[in-house]
Structure 1
Amino acid sequence: MTALFTGLSAFPLTPVTEDGVDEEAFTGLVARLHQSEVDSIGALGSTGSYAYLSVGERARVADLAVRAADGTPVIIGIGALSTADVLSNAENAQNAGASAVLLPPMSYQQLTEDEVYRLYAEVAAELSVPLCVYDNPGTTHFSFTEELHGRIAELPNVAAVKIPATPAEPLAARERVRALRQRIPDHVAIGVSGDSAAAGGLLAGCDLWFSVLAGLWPEPCLAIARAAQRGDATEARRRSERLTPLWDLFARYGSVRVVATIAERTGLAPAPNLPRPLRSLTGEAATRLDEALRAVEYAAPR
Protein backbone atom coordinates (compact mmCIF):
# COMPACT_ATOMS: atom_id res chain seq x y z
CA MET A 1 0.00 0.00 0.00
CA THR A 2 1.39 3.39 -0.98
CA ALA A 3 2.27 5.69 1.92
CA LEU A 4 0.48 8.47 0.07
CA PHE A 5 -2.92 7.13 1.11
CA THR A 6 -2.51 7.21 4.88
CA GLY A 7 -3.37 9.59 7.71
CA LEU A 8 -5.13 12.87 6.94
CA SER A 9 -5.88 14.24 3.48
CA ALA A 10 -7.12 17.85 3.66
CA PHE A 11 -9.46 19.21 0.99
CA PRO A 12 -9.39 23.02 0.69
CA LEU A 13 -11.92 25.31 -0.93
CA THR A 14 -11.24 26.73 -4.37
CA PRO A 15 -12.38 30.32 -3.70
CA VAL A 16 -14.30 31.66 -6.69
CA THR A 17 -15.37 35.28 -7.19
CA GLU A 18 -17.14 37.01 -10.08
CA ASP A 19 -13.71 37.38 -11.68
CA GLY A 20 -12.96 33.66 -11.48
CA VAL A 21 -10.70 31.66 -9.18
CA ASP A 22 -9.08 33.77 -6.47
CA GLU A 23 -5.58 32.43 -6.93
CA GLU A 24 -4.07 34.28 -3.98
CA ALA A 25 -6.67 32.99 -1.55
CA PHE A 26 -6.39 29.46 -2.91
CA THR A 27 -2.61 29.30 -2.70
CA GLY A 28 -2.81 30.74 0.80
CA LEU A 29 -5.10 27.92 1.88
CA VAL A 30 -2.84 25.27 0.35
CA ALA A 31 0.31 26.80 1.85
CA ARG A 32 -1.31 26.70 5.31
CA LEU A 33 -1.98 23.00 4.86
CA HIS A 34 1.61 22.35 3.88
CA GLN A 35 2.79 24.21 6.98
CA SER A 36 0.42 22.23 9.21
CA GLU A 37 2.02 18.98 7.99
CA VAL A 38 -1.11 17.18 6.82
CA ASP A 39 -0.28 13.94 5.05
CA SER A 40 -1.72 15.03 1.70
CA ILE A 41 -3.79 17.78 0.11
CA GLY A 42 -6.85 17.09 -2.03
CA ALA A 43 -7.41 19.86 -4.58
CA LEU A 44 -10.51 20.04 -6.77
CA GLY A 45 -12.62 17.68 -4.72
CA SER A 46 -16.25 18.45 -3.95
CA THR A 47 -15.13 21.05 -1.41
CA GLY A 48 -12.95 22.50 -4.17
CA SER A 49 -15.97 22.99 -6.47
CA TYR A 50 -14.46 20.95 -9.29
CA ALA A 51 -17.80 20.49 -11.03
CA TYR A 52 -18.23 24.25 -11.55
CA LEU A 53 -14.86 24.92 -13.18
CA SER A 54 -13.71 24.61 -16.78
CA VAL A 55 -10.94 22.28 -17.91
CA GLY A 56 -8.64 25.30 -18.27
CA GLU A 57 -9.45 26.64 -14.82
CA ARG A 58 -8.84 23.25 -13.31
CA ALA A 59 -5.48 22.92 -15.04
CA ARG A 60 -4.46 26.25 -13.53
CA VAL A 61 -5.71 25.26 -10.06
CA ALA A 62 -3.82 21.96 -10.26
CA ASP A 63 -0.61 23.81 -11.07
CA LEU A 64 -1.17 26.32 -8.25
CA ALA A 65 -1.91 23.55 -5.76
CA VAL A 66 1.26 21.58 -6.46
CA ARG A 67 3.40 24.71 -6.30
CA ALA A 68 1.86 25.98 -3.06
CA ALA A 69 2.01 22.52 -1.46
CA ASP A 70 5.81 22.72 -1.68
CA GLY A 71 6.40 18.99 -1.50
CA THR A 72 3.31 17.86 0.38
CA PRO A 73 1.63 15.24 -1.86
CA VAL A 74 -1.32 16.64 -3.82
CA ILE A 75 -4.27 14.56 -5.00
CA ILE A 76 -6.13 16.27 -7.86
CA GLY A 77 -9.80 15.65 -8.65
CA ILE A 78 -10.35 14.87 -12.34
CA GLY A 79 -14.08 14.07 -12.50
CA ALA A 80 -16.18 15.43 -15.38
CA LEU A 81 -19.31 14.57 -17.32
CA SER A 82 -17.45 13.28 -20.39
CA THR A 83 -14.61 10.79 -20.52
CA ALA A 84 -12.78 13.12 -22.89
CA ASP A 85 -12.73 15.87 -20.26
CA VAL A 86 -11.73 13.39 -17.56
CA LEU A 87 -8.74 12.38 -19.67
CA SER A 88 -7.82 16.03 -20.28
CA ASN A 89 -8.06 16.73 -16.56
CA ALA A 90 -5.90 13.70 -15.83
CA GLU A 91 -3.23 14.79 -18.29
CA ASN A 92 -3.22 18.31 -16.87
CA ALA A 93 -3.01 17.03 -13.29
CA GLN A 94 -0.06 14.81 -14.14
CA ASN A 95 1.69 17.61 -16.02
CA ALA A 96 1.25 19.82 -12.95
CA GLY A 97 3.03 17.24 -10.80
CA ALA A 98 0.09 15.67 -8.96
CA SER A 99 1.00 12.73 -6.74
CA ALA A 100 -2.35 11.05 -7.47
CA VAL A 101 -5.77 11.72 -8.98
CA LEU A 102 -9.28 11.32 -7.60
CA LEU A 103 -12.08 10.22 -9.93
CA PRO A 104 -15.82 10.28 -9.18
CA PRO A 105 -18.31 8.79 -11.66
CA MET A 106 -19.87 12.16 -12.43
CA SER A 107 -23.00 12.10 -14.58
CA TYR A 108 -26.07 13.87 -15.89
CA GLN A 109 -27.65 10.75 -17.35
CA GLN A 110 -27.71 7.99 -14.72
CA LEU A 111 -24.70 5.73 -15.32
CA THR A 112 -24.83 1.94 -15.41
CA GLU A 113 -22.30 -0.26 -13.62
CA ASP A 114 -20.77 -1.23 -16.95
CA GLU A 115 -20.36 2.43 -17.96
CA VAL A 116 -18.69 3.25 -14.64
CA TYR A 117 -16.34 0.28 -14.94
CA ARG A 118 -15.39 1.26 -18.48
CA LEU A 119 -14.76 4.85 -17.35
CA TYR A 120 -12.26 3.72 -14.72
CA ALA A 121 -10.69 1.17 -17.06
CA GLU A 122 -10.12 3.74 -19.79
CA VAL A 123 -8.72 6.37 -17.44
CA ALA A 124 -6.57 3.99 -15.38
CA ALA A 125 -4.91 2.71 -18.55
CA GLU A 126 -3.71 6.21 -19.41
CA LEU A 127 -2.35 7.20 -15.99
CA SER A 128 1.20 7.36 -14.72
CA VAL A 129 0.15 8.23 -11.15
CA PRO A 130 -2.09 6.38 -8.65
CA LEU A 131 -5.86 6.73 -8.89
CA CYS A 132 -8.34 6.95 -6.04
CA VAL A 133 -11.91 5.84 -6.71
CA TYR A 134 -14.35 8.43 -5.38
CA ASP A 135 -17.47 6.75 -3.99
CA ASN A 136 -19.86 9.53 -2.98
CA PRO A 137 -23.49 8.83 -3.93
CA GLY A 138 -24.58 12.05 -2.23
CA THR A 139 -23.01 14.11 -5.01
CA THR A 140 -22.67 11.68 -7.93
CA HIS A 141 -25.98 9.86 -7.38
CA PHE A 142 -24.24 6.60 -8.25
CA SER A 143 -23.99 3.80 -5.69
CA PHE A 144 -21.10 1.36 -5.96
CA THR A 145 -21.64 -2.29 -5.12
CA GLU A 146 -18.90 -4.21 -3.33
CA GLU A 147 -18.54 -6.34 -6.46
CA LEU A 148 -17.96 -3.27 -8.65
CA HIS A 149 -15.39 -1.92 -6.20
CA GLY A 150 -13.61 -5.24 -6.44
CA ARG A 151 -13.53 -5.20 -10.24
CA ILE A 152 -12.29 -1.62 -10.43
CA ALA A 153 -9.67 -2.18 -7.72
CA GLU A 154 -8.02 -4.80 -9.95
CA LEU A 155 -7.35 -2.22 -12.67
CA PRO A 156 -3.81 -0.86 -13.13
CA ASN A 157 -2.91 2.25 -11.10
CA VAL A 158 -5.94 2.01 -8.78
CA ALA A 159 -4.47 2.60 -5.34
CA ALA A 160 -7.31 3.75 -3.07
CA VAL A 161 -11.05 3.95 -2.56
CA LYS A 162 -12.73 6.97 -0.94
CA ILE A 163 -15.91 5.70 0.72
CA PRO A 164 -18.84 7.53 2.33
CA ALA A 165 -19.20 7.79 6.09
CA THR A 166 -19.03 4.48 7.93
CA PRO A 167 -21.87 3.55 10.32
CA ALA A 168 -21.82 5.22 13.74
CA GLU A 169 -21.99 1.91 15.59
CA PRO A 170 -18.40 0.57 15.92
CA LEU A 171 -19.18 -3.06 15.08
CA ALA A 172 -21.15 -2.02 12.00
CA ALA A 173 -18.31 0.28 10.93
CA ARG A 174 -15.77 -2.53 11.23
CA GLU A 175 -18.04 -4.84 9.24
CA ARG A 176 -18.40 -2.21 6.48
CA VAL A 177 -14.63 -1.87 6.17
CA ARG A 178 -14.06 -5.62 6.46
CA ALA A 179 -16.58 -6.37 3.69
CA LEU A 180 -14.88 -3.95 1.32
CA ARG A 181 -11.40 -5.14 2.27
CA GLN A 182 -12.39 -8.69 1.33
CA ARG A 183 -13.23 -7.49 -2.19
CA ILE A 184 -10.16 -5.38 -3.00
CA PRO A 185 -6.42 -6.15 -3.16
CA ASP A 186 -4.27 -5.52 -0.09
CA HIS A 187 -2.36 -2.72 -1.84
CA VAL A 188 -5.54 -0.64 -2.31
CA ALA A 189 -6.13 1.77 0.58
CA ILE A 190 -9.53 2.56 2.04
CA GLY A 191 -10.24 6.17 2.95
CA VAL A 192 -13.27 7.46 4.83
CA SER A 193 -15.08 10.72 4.12
CA GLY A 194 -17.87 12.39 6.06
CA ASP A 195 -16.03 14.27 8.79
CA SER A 196 -18.36 13.30 11.63
CA ALA A 197 -17.62 9.63 10.93
CA ALA A 198 -13.88 9.98 10.49
CA ALA A 199 -12.79 8.87 13.97
CA GLY A 200 -15.02 5.81 13.76
CA GLY A 201 -13.89 5.01 10.24
CA LEU A 202 -10.21 5.19 11.09
CA LEU A 203 -10.72 3.10 14.22
CA ALA A 204 -12.66 0.57 12.12
CA GLY A 205 -9.66 0.02 9.87
CA CYS A 206 -9.72 2.75 7.23
CA ASP A 207 -6.25 3.86 6.19
CA LEU A 208 -6.95 7.57 5.87
CA TRP A 209 -9.49 10.35 6.30
CA PHE A 210 -10.43 12.63 3.41
CA SER A 211 -11.47 15.73 5.33
CA VAL A 212 -13.46 18.86 4.49
CA LEU A 213 -12.79 20.70 7.74
CA ALA A 214 -9.06 19.95 7.60
CA GLY A 215 -8.87 21.94 4.38
CA LEU A 216 -9.60 25.04 6.42
CA TRP A 217 -8.79 24.07 10.01
CA PRO A 218 -6.25 21.21 9.97
CA GLU A 219 -5.06 21.22 13.58
CA PRO A 220 -8.07 19.60 15.34
CA CYS A 221 -8.45 17.15 12.46
CA LEU A 222 -4.81 16.12 12.74
CA ALA A 223 -5.34 15.52 16.46
CA ILE A 224 -8.26 13.18 15.70
CA ALA A 225 -6.36 11.35 12.97
CA ARG A 226 -3.19 10.90 14.99
CA ALA A 227 -5.11 9.60 18.02
CA ALA A 228 -6.92 7.07 15.83
CA GLN A 229 -3.68 6.04 14.12
CA ARG A 230 -2.08 5.18 17.45
CA GLY A 231 -5.19 3.25 18.50
CA ASP A 232 -6.37 5.70 21.15
CA ALA A 233 -10.10 5.33 20.53
CA THR A 234 -11.13 7.32 23.58
CA GLU A 235 -9.08 10.36 22.59
CA ALA A 236 -10.07 10.19 18.91
CA ARG A 237 -13.77 10.02 19.73
CA ARG A 238 -13.48 12.71 22.41
CA ARG A 239 -11.84 15.14 20.03
CA SER A 240 -14.38 14.38 17.31
CA GLU A 241 -17.31 14.82 19.69
CA ARG A 242 -16.04 18.29 20.63
CA LEU A 243 -16.71 19.28 17.02
CA THR A 244 -20.29 17.97 17.01
CA PRO A 245 -21.80 21.47 16.61
CA LEU A 246 -19.92 21.80 13.32
CA TRP A 247 -20.72 18.25 12.22
CA ASP A 248 -24.41 19.01 12.80
CA LEU A 249 -24.19 22.09 10.59
CA PHE A 250 -22.41 20.09 7.90
CA ALA A 251 -25.36 17.69 7.85
CA ARG A 252 -27.95 20.46 7.86
CA TYR A 253 -26.51 22.95 5.35
CA GLY A 254 -23.81 21.08 3.45
CA SER A 255 -20.17 21.09 4.48
CA VAL A 256 -18.98 23.28 1.60
CA ARG A 257 -21.35 26.11 2.59
CA VAL A 258 -20.24 25.89 6.21
CA VAL A 259 -16.50 25.99 5.52
CA ALA A 260 -16.96 28.71 2.90
CA THR A 261 -18.70 30.87 5.50
CA ILE A 262 -16.01 30.17 8.09
CA ALA A 263 -13.38 31.16 5.51
CA GLU A 264 -15.21 34.44 4.97
CA ARG A 265 -15.51 35.07 8.71
CA THR A 266 -11.80 34.51 9.30
CA GLY A 267 -10.42 36.31 6.26
CA LEU A 268 -9.04 33.17 4.65
CA ALA A 269 -11.18 33.66 1.54
CA PRO A 270 -13.21 36.51 0.06
CA ALA A 271 -16.95 36.96 0.47
CA PRO A 272 -18.51 35.43 -1.52
CA ASN A 273 -16.18 32.55 -2.43
CA LEU A 274 -18.47 29.88 -3.84
CA PRO A 275 -19.33 29.52 -7.53
CA ARG A 276 -22.89 30.61 -8.15
CA PRO A 277 -25.58 29.44 -7.69
CA LEU A 278 -23.99 28.16 -4.44
CA ARG A 279 -24.17 30.63 -1.56
CA SER A 280 -22.55 30.85 1.85
CA LEU A 281 -24.71 30.93 4.97
CA THR A 282 -26.81 33.94 5.89
CA GLY A 283 -29.50 34.81 8.41
CA GLU A 284 -30.42 32.14 10.94
CA ALA A 285 -27.97 29.66 9.41
CA ALA A 286 -25.08 32.11 9.86
CA THR A 287 -26.16 32.75 13.43
CA ARG A 288 -26.15 29.03 14.11
CA LEU A 289 -22.64 28.84 12.68
CA ASP A 290 -21.39 31.63 14.92
CA GLU A 291 -22.86 29.80 17.91
CA ALA A 292 -21.19 26.56 16.83
CA LEU A 293 -17.81 28.26 16.45
CA ARG A 294 -18.08 29.64 19.96
CA ALA A 295 -19.10 26.21 21.25
CA VAL A 296 -16.04 24.51 19.78
CA GLU A 297 -13.81 27.43 20.81
CA TYR A 298 -12.73 28.03 17.25
CA ALA A 299 -9.70 30.30 17.05
CA ALA A 300 -9.26 32.20 13.81
CA PRO A 301 -5.96 31.23 12.13
CA ARG A 302 -3.24 33.87 12.04
Structure 2
Amino acid sequence: MNIFHDANRKQIAGRRRTDWLLHILFVTATSIGVIALCALLIDILLDGVTRLQPDLFTNFPSRKADGSGMKSALVGTIYMLLIMAPVSFIFGVGAAIYLEEYAGKNRFTRIIQLNISTLAGVPSIVYGILGLALFVRLLALDKSLIAGALTMTLLVLPIIIVSAQEAIRSVPKSRRDASFALGATKWQTVSRSVMPSAIPGILTGVILAMSRAIGETAPLVMIGALTYVAYLPEGLKDSFTVVPIQVYNWLSKPQVEFQELAASGIIVLLALLLLMNFSAILLRNKYQKNV
Protein backbone atom coordinates (compact mmCIF):
# COMPACT_ATOMS: atom_id res chain seq x y z
CA MET A 1 0.00 0.00 0.00
CA ASN A 2 2.83 2.36 0.84
CA ILE A 3 4.30 1.76 -2.62
CA PHE A 4 1.01 2.79 -4.27
CA HIS A 5 0.70 5.86 -2.00
CA ASP A 6 4.25 6.92 -2.84
CA ALA A 7 3.53 6.50 -6.57
CA ASN A 8 0.37 8.60 -6.29
CA ARG A 9 2.22 11.31 -4.38
CA LYS A 10 4.90 11.42 -7.07
CA GLN A 11 2.28 11.66 -9.81
CA ILE A 12 0.44 14.45 -8.00
CA ALA A 13 3.70 16.29 -7.36
CA GLY A 14 4.67 15.92 -11.01
CA ARG A 15 1.30 17.26 -12.18
CA ARG A 16 1.53 20.22 -9.83
CA ARG A 17 5.04 20.99 -11.04
CA THR A 18 3.87 20.78 -14.66
CA ASP A 19 0.88 23.04 -13.92
CA TRP A 20 3.17 25.55 -12.20
CA LEU A 21 5.62 25.57 -15.11
CA LEU A 22 2.81 26.02 -17.64
CA HIS A 23 1.32 28.81 -15.52
CA ILE A 24 4.69 30.61 -15.48
CA LEU A 25 5.05 30.08 -19.25
CA PHE A 26 1.61 31.53 -19.99
CA VAL A 27 2.11 34.49 -17.66
CA THR A 28 5.49 35.22 -19.24
CA ALA A 29 4.10 35.05 -22.78
CA THR A 30 1.20 37.34 -21.84
CA SER A 31 3.51 39.78 -20.06
CA ILE A 32 5.82 40.04 -23.07
CA GLY A 33 2.89 40.93 -25.33
CA VAL A 34 1.40 43.42 -22.86
CA ILE A 35 4.75 45.09 -22.16
CA ALA A 36 5.54 45.40 -25.88
CA LEU A 37 2.09 46.88 -26.54
CA CYS A 38 2.41 49.35 -23.67
CA ALA A 39 5.88 50.40 -24.82
CA LEU A 40 4.58 50.96 -28.35
CA LEU A 41 1.60 53.00 -27.11
CA ILE A 42 3.78 55.12 -24.83
CA ASP A 43 6.22 55.80 -27.67
CA ILE A 44 3.38 56.81 -30.01
CA LEU A 45 1.79 59.06 -27.36
CA LEU A 46 5.08 60.79 -26.59
CA ASP A 47 5.73 61.45 -30.28
CA GLY A 48 2.23 62.41 -31.38
CA VAL A 49 0.48 64.10 -28.47
CA THR A 50 2.09 67.48 -29.26
CA ARG A 51 0.59 67.38 -32.77
CA LEU A 52 -2.96 66.72 -31.59
CA GLN A 53 -4.17 70.23 -32.34
CA PRO A 54 -7.20 71.57 -34.27
CA ASP A 55 -4.99 72.15 -37.33
CA LEU A 56 -4.54 68.39 -37.64
CA PHE A 57 -8.27 67.99 -38.35
CA THR A 58 -8.92 71.19 -40.30
CA ASN A 59 -5.90 71.32 -42.64
CA PHE A 60 -5.31 69.30 -45.78
CA PRO A 61 -2.06 67.37 -46.30
CA SER A 62 0.90 69.52 -47.23
CA ARG A 63 4.52 69.08 -48.22
CA LYS A 64 5.38 71.24 -45.21
CA ALA A 65 4.90 69.55 -41.88
CA ASP A 66 3.92 72.72 -40.03
CA GLY A 67 0.75 73.22 -42.07
CA SER A 68 -0.08 69.59 -42.78
CA GLY A 69 -3.27 67.92 -41.59
CA MET A 70 -5.46 64.89 -42.21
CA LYS A 71 -8.81 66.47 -43.07
CA SER A 72 -9.17 64.71 -46.43
CA ALA A 73 -8.10 61.34 -44.96
CA LEU A 74 -10.51 61.60 -42.03
CA VAL A 75 -13.43 62.62 -44.24
CA GLY A 76 -12.54 59.90 -46.75
CA THR A 77 -12.60 57.29 -43.98
CA ILE A 78 -16.02 58.50 -42.80
CA TYR A 79 -17.42 58.51 -46.35
CA MET A 80 -16.14 54.99 -46.94
CA LEU A 81 -17.76 53.77 -43.71
CA LEU A 82 -21.08 55.40 -44.65
CA ILE A 83 -21.07 53.44 -47.91
CA MET A 84 -19.75 50.20 -46.47
CA ALA A 85 -22.04 49.92 -43.45
CA PRO A 86 -25.46 49.63 -45.16
CA VAL A 87 -24.18 47.58 -48.12
CA SER A 88 -22.30 45.07 -45.99
CA PHE A 89 -25.14 44.86 -43.45
CA ILE A 90 -27.80 44.14 -46.10
CA PHE A 91 -25.81 41.54 -48.02
CA GLY A 92 -24.03 40.00 -45.02
CA VAL A 93 -27.07 39.61 -42.78
CA GLY A 94 -29.24 38.60 -45.74
CA ALA A 95 -26.81 35.82 -46.64
CA ALA A 96 -26.68 34.66 -43.01
CA ILE A 97 -30.49 34.54 -42.76
CA TYR A 98 -30.73 32.52 -45.97
CA LEU A 99 -28.03 30.03 -44.95
CA GLU A 100 -29.43 29.49 -41.45
CA GLU A 101 -33.20 29.70 -42.00
CA TYR A 102 -33.98 28.91 -45.63
CA ALA A 103 -31.18 26.92 -47.26
CA GLY A 104 -31.35 23.16 -46.99
CA LYS A 105 -28.66 21.36 -45.03
CA ASN A 106 -27.09 19.60 -48.00
CA ARG A 107 -23.68 19.20 -49.53
CA PHE A 108 -23.95 22.37 -51.63
CA THR A 109 -24.76 24.46 -48.54
CA ARG A 110 -21.85 22.93 -46.65
CA ILE A 111 -19.50 23.84 -49.50
CA ILE A 112 -20.74 27.44 -49.45
CA GLN A 113 -20.33 27.57 -45.67
CA LEU A 114 -16.79 26.20 -45.93
CA ASN A 115 -15.87 28.79 -48.56
CA ILE A 116 -17.28 31.65 -46.47
CA SER A 117 -15.34 30.50 -43.41
CA THR A 118 -12.19 30.23 -45.54
CA LEU A 119 -12.68 33.70 -47.03
CA ALA A 120 -12.88 35.18 -43.52
CA GLY A 121 -9.21 34.28 -43.05
CA VAL A 122 -7.89 35.29 -46.48
CA PRO A 123 -5.20 38.03 -46.39
CA SER A 124 -6.56 41.48 -47.16
CA ILE A 125 -4.24 41.99 -50.12
CA VAL A 126 -6.19 39.28 -51.99
CA TYR A 127 -9.33 41.39 -51.69
CA GLY A 128 -7.36 44.32 -53.04
CA ILE A 129 -6.43 42.30 -56.11
CA LEU A 130 -10.07 41.22 -56.52
CA GLY A 131 -11.27 44.82 -56.16
CA LEU A 132 -8.73 45.99 -58.72
CA ALA A 133 -9.86 43.40 -61.26
CA LEU A 134 -13.60 43.66 -60.59
CA PHE A 135 -14.40 47.25 -59.68
CA VAL A 136 -11.51 49.31 -61.07
CA ARG A 137 -11.02 47.52 -64.41
CA LEU A 138 -14.10 45.43 -65.21
CA LEU A 139 -16.72 47.93 -63.99
CA ALA A 140 -14.50 50.92 -64.91
CA LEU A 141 -14.99 52.66 -61.55
CA ASP A 142 -11.35 53.81 -61.62
CA LYS A 143 -9.56 54.87 -58.42
CA SER A 144 -12.74 56.18 -56.85
CA LEU A 145 -14.40 56.28 -53.47
CA ILE A 146 -17.09 53.80 -54.51
CA ALA A 147 -14.46 51.33 -55.76
CA GLY A 148 -12.64 51.51 -52.43
CA ALA A 149 -15.83 51.12 -50.41
CA LEU A 150 -16.98 48.11 -52.43
CA THR A 151 -13.55 46.50 -52.13
CA MET A 152 -13.61 46.89 -48.36
CA THR A 153 -17.17 45.54 -48.36
CA LEU A 154 -15.84 42.34 -49.92
CA LEU A 155 -13.24 42.21 -47.15
CA VAL A 156 -15.74 42.40 -44.27
CA LEU A 157 -18.61 40.39 -45.81
CA PRO A 158 -17.32 36.94 -44.75
CA ILE A 159 -16.74 38.20 -41.20
CA ILE A 160 -20.25 39.66 -40.99
CA ILE A 161 -21.84 36.52 -42.44
CA VAL A 162 -20.06 34.23 -39.96
CA SER A 163 -20.85 36.43 -36.94
CA ALA A 164 -24.49 36.86 -38.03
CA GLN A 165 -24.86 33.11 -38.49
CA GLU A 166 -23.52 32.49 -34.99
CA ALA A 167 -25.97 35.05 -33.58
CA ILE A 168 -28.93 33.52 -35.44
CA ARG A 169 -27.87 30.00 -34.50
CA SER A 170 -27.78 30.96 -30.81
CA VAL A 171 -31.54 31.69 -30.78
CA PRO A 172 -33.28 28.68 -29.14
CA LYS A 173 -35.26 26.41 -31.46
CA SER A 174 -38.16 26.55 -29.00
CA ARG A 175 -38.73 30.18 -29.93
CA ARG A 176 -39.15 29.26 -33.58
CA ASP A 177 -41.44 26.36 -32.69
CA ALA A 178 -43.61 28.61 -30.53
CA SER A 179 -43.95 31.10 -33.37
CA PHE A 180 -44.94 28.40 -35.85
CA ALA A 181 -47.42 26.97 -33.34
CA LEU A 182 -49.16 30.35 -33.21
CA GLY A 183 -49.63 30.25 -36.99
CA ALA A 184 -46.81 32.58 -38.02
CA THR A 185 -45.22 32.23 -41.44
CA LYS A 186 -41.53 31.56 -41.99
CA TRP A 187 -40.69 35.22 -42.59
CA GLN A 188 -42.78 36.38 -39.64
CA THR A 189 -40.92 33.94 -37.44
CA VAL A 190 -37.54 35.11 -38.70
CA SER A 191 -38.30 38.85 -38.59
CA ARG A 192 -40.31 39.02 -35.35
CA SER A 193 -38.96 36.18 -33.28
CA VAL A 194 -35.44 35.25 -34.38
CA MET A 195 -33.96 38.60 -35.43
CA PRO A 196 -34.83 40.59 -32.26
CA SER A 197 -32.88 38.04 -30.24
CA ALA A 198 -30.00 37.82 -32.72
CA ILE A 199 -29.60 41.54 -33.41
CA PRO A 200 -27.15 42.22 -30.49
CA GLY A 201 -24.65 39.69 -31.83
CA ILE A 202 -25.21 40.81 -35.41
CA LEU A 203 -24.59 44.48 -34.61
CA THR A 204 -21.50 43.61 -32.60
CA GLY A 205 -20.09 41.62 -35.52
CA VAL A 206 -20.88 44.38 -38.03
CA ILE A 207 -19.25 47.13 -35.98
CA LEU A 208 -16.15 45.05 -35.23
CA ALA A 209 -15.86 44.24 -38.95
CA MET A 210 -16.12 47.98 -39.73
CA SER A 211 -13.40 48.72 -37.20
CA ARG A 212 -11.14 46.20 -38.94
CA ALA A 213 -11.85 47.77 -42.32
CA ILE A 214 -10.83 51.31 -41.32
CA GLY A 215 -7.42 50.01 -40.25
CA GLU A 216 -6.65 48.19 -43.51
CA THR A 217 -4.27 49.70 -46.02
CA ALA A 218 -3.22 46.98 -48.47
CA PRO A 219 -6.55 46.62 -50.39
CA LEU A 220 -6.84 50.37 -50.90
CA VAL A 221 -3.24 50.65 -52.06
CA MET A 222 -3.94 47.90 -54.59
CA ILE A 223 -6.90 49.74 -56.12
CA GLY A 224 -4.93 52.97 -56.32
CA ALA A 225 -6.12 55.08 -53.39
CA LEU A 226 -3.98 58.23 -53.42
CA THR A 227 -1.44 59.01 -50.72
CA TYR A 228 -1.77 62.78 -51.26
CA VAL A 229 -5.25 64.29 -51.55
CA ALA A 230 -5.66 68.01 -50.85
CA TYR A 231 -9.41 68.15 -51.42
CA LEU A 232 -12.60 66.48 -50.25
CA PRO A 233 -14.39 63.95 -52.49
CA GLU A 234 -17.61 65.47 -53.82
CA GLY A 235 -18.99 62.35 -55.46
CA LEU A 236 -18.69 58.58 -55.52
CA LYS A 237 -16.38 58.68 -58.56
CA ASP A 238 -13.85 61.10 -57.00
CA SER A 239 -10.40 60.12 -55.76
CA PHE A 240 -9.95 59.69 -52.03
CA THR A 241 -7.61 58.70 -49.25
CA VAL A 242 -8.06 57.29 -45.75
CA VAL A 243 -6.31 57.65 -42.41
CA PRO A 244 -4.04 54.54 -42.66
CA ILE A 245 -2.76 55.62 -46.07
CA GLN A 246 -2.13 59.15 -44.83
CA VAL A 247 -0.19 57.75 -41.86
CA TYR A 248 1.82 55.55 -44.25
CA ASN A 249 2.60 58.61 -46.38
CA TRP A 250 3.89 60.54 -43.37
CA LEU A 251 5.95 57.59 -42.14
CA SER A 252 7.68 57.32 -45.51
CA LYS A 253 9.15 60.82 -45.08
CA PRO A 254 12.47 61.18 -43.22
CA GLN A 255 11.70 64.44 -41.39
CA VAL A 256 11.05 64.18 -37.67
CA GLU A 257 8.03 66.49 -37.96
CA PHE A 258 6.29 64.07 -40.33
CA GLN A 259 7.07 61.18 -37.98
CA GLU A 260 5.29 63.11 -35.23
CA LEU A 261 2.33 63.71 -37.54
CA ALA A 262 2.22 59.98 -38.28
CA ALA A 263 2.15 59.24 -34.54
CA SER A 264 -0.73 61.68 -34.08
CA GLY A 265 -2.56 60.01 -36.97
CA ILE A 266 -2.11 56.63 -35.27
CA ILE A 267 -3.58 58.08 -32.06
CA VAL A 268 -6.62 59.33 -33.99
CA LEU A 269 -7.04 55.93 -35.65
CA LEU A 270 -6.78 54.13 -32.31
CA ALA A 271 -9.38 56.52 -30.88
CA LEU A 272 -11.74 55.69 -33.75
CA LEU A 273 -11.25 51.97 -33.20
CA LEU A 274 -11.85 52.25 -29.46
CA LEU A 275 -14.96 54.38 -30.08
CA MET A 276 -16.39 51.81 -32.48
CA ASN A 277 -15.64 48.92 -30.13
CA PHE A 278 -17.21 50.82 -27.23
CA SER A 279 -20.31 51.57 -29.31
CA ALA A 280 -20.57 47.86 -30.15
CA ILE A 281 -20.59 47.03 -26.44
CA LEU A 282 -23.23 49.69 -25.72
CA LEU A 283 -25.49 48.52 -28.55
CA ARG A 284 -25.19 44.90 -27.50
CA ASN A 285 -26.05 45.71 -23.89
CA LYS A 286 -28.96 47.94 -24.92
CA TYR A 287 -30.57 45.34 -27.16
CA GLN A 288 -29.96 42.51 -24.70
CA LYS A 289 -31.95 44.42 -22.08
CA ASN A 290 -34.82 44.93 -24.51
CA VAL A 291 -35.02 41.32 -25.67
State which structure, 1 or 2, has the greater radius of gyration over its C-alpha atoms: 2
- Structure having the higher strand fraction is 1
Q: Could you say which structure has the greater relative contact order, defined with CA pairs below 8 angstroms and 6 or more residues apart?
A: 2
**Is the TM value for this pair above 0.5?**
no
Q: Per residue, is there more helix in 1 or in 2?
A: 2
Give the TM-score of the pair, scaled to structure 1.
0.24
